[in-house]
Amino acid sequence: MARVLLVGYDPEAVDYSNPAYPPGMIAEVSAGIALTLKQTTDRGWESDVCHIRPDKAAGQTAERHLASANYDCVVIGAGVRLPPQGLEIFEAVVNAIHRGAPGAIIAFNTRPEDSADAACAMDAHQIERPRLRRTSPSCRSCYKRLEVIGQPTNQSSKEQLYRQQRMTQGQAAPSTSQ
């Protein structure tokens, strides 16, 4: 079952008078989130919501939430990416997703109620790129223990993946010959 994370500002922490937000956004946010959760369930997906505050802790909050489960798709709300003065926060959230869920598809909604449609991007990309998952949640500094989901995982493919990661990091992979 696919798992989707919706990342958006905590509705209580947003300044809706900002002209970057569409009119009527305050009333639509909570209803839109509820509708999206229903739509994702109807499509057979699991979904979670990660509310962030518009401050420097936004990236850390998103990264902590991403560590709690393996996500196939992360939808970033329009409220996070629309205000030009929020670019630093948007970048922090994108980087947190890159670190916390490197195999997840990143999608963007235009309004809260179209998040499930935005998440459909993961269906289009599943064929084009394999999803990657850390096999050890404690391995946060490197991705040497990656498993390609949906592909055979035998010892030699794990060793090849490990060697590729070590070479990318500029480290010599240990020799297996005796």
**What are the structural domain ranges in the chain?**
3-125, 132-168
pLDDT reading at 73 higher than 50: yes
pLDDT digits (tens, 9 = 90+) for 86-120: 999 999 999 999 999 999 999 999 888 899 999 98
Own/partner contacts of 12-17, CB < 8 Å, gap of 24 or more, are: 13/53, 13/54, 14/54, 14/79
Query: What is residue 23's predicted lDDT score, i.e. its pLDDT?
Result: 76
CB 61 within 8 A of CB 50: yes
Spell out the residues 6+ positions from residue 51 whose beta carbon is closer than 8 angstroms to its own.
8, 9, 10, 11
By percentage, how much of the chain surpasses pLDDT 90? 45
The DSSP letter of residue 96 is H
> Which residues, in sequence order, are bridge partners of residue 133?
147
CB 78 within 8 A of CB 108: yes
pLDDT reading at 37 higher than 80: yes
Query: What is residue 128's predicted lDDT score, i.e. its pLDDT?
Result: 43
Tell me what the mean pLDDT of segment 12-24 comes to: 82
- How many CB atoms within 10 Å of residue 178? 3
Q: Where are the alpha helices (DSSP H) in the chain?
A: 25-42, 58-66, 78-81, 87-100, 115-119, 121-125, 155-168
Separation of first and last alpha carbons in the chain: 43
Please provide the CATH number assigned to the domain covering 3-125.
3.40.50.2300
Q: Is the pTM of this model over 0.75?
A: no
